Amino acid sequence: MPDYNKIDETTLEVAETVEIIRDAKTYTLDALKKQEENLVKKAADFAKMTDAQLVEVRALIAICEDMGIKTAAEVVKAAEPVMPEGE
Please report the sign of the dihedral spanned by the C-alpha atoms of residue 59, residue 63, residue 69, residue 74: positive
How many other CB atoms sit within 10 Å of the CB of residue 69? 20
Q: State residue 87's pLDDT score.
A: 61
Summary mean pLDDT of the chain:
89
Which of 16-20, 22-26, 46-50, 83-87 comes out lowest in average pLDDT? Answer: 83-87
> 26 pLDDT exceeds 80?
yes
Q: State residue 15's pLDDT score.
A: 94
pLDDT digits (tens, 9 = 90+) for 32-79: 999 998 988 888 788 888 888 999 999 999 999 999 999 999 999 888
**Residue 85 and residue 26 in contact, taking contact as beta carbons nearer than 8 Å:** no
Question: What's the residue count for the chain?
Answer: 87
Q: State residue 68's pLDDT score.
A: 94
